[in-house]
Structure 1
């Protein structure tokens, strides 16, 4: 008798749906992971949390950050600098 394989299985459950997900991202450039999860549930009957979609997309090589959200972290025209020590 041989021991069973340990660890994660190869691939992700979203691999068969990769073209569908990439199509969503192509159609709506700023689509959120939660919106992708909702569309997967509605149109494919597949339940996936946003973290699963994120891990699946990073393994496929698409790591895109939303620049717009990052730029709103500070007021327009203000430079980000550490506080001065007095």
Structure 2
């Protein structure tokens, strides 16, 4: 957790900004939120972010490999649902 970033976020938080964020998500991805979105993100440094993304890539690669092995093909052009990391598409 990055303390300075957390403090700045907390100081600028408002229900209106949270509601606007939810509206943006629902506009961009209609009817896809079937869980409660937290009001507050987790602030991590670049090193941990890279480790998490690497682990994510490894998990997706293993799942795809297993699905191909059992005969469940993954359509070409299918995408990851993470809108923040376009490198996770394909």
TM-score range, shorter chain: under 0.3
Q: Bigger radius of gyration, 1 or 2?
A: 1
State the structure with bigger RCO (CA 8 A, min sep 6), 1 or 2.
Answer: 2
Bigger helix fraction? 2
Q: Which TM-score applies when normalising by structure 1? A: 0.25
Q: Which TM-score applies when normalising by structure 2? A: 0.24
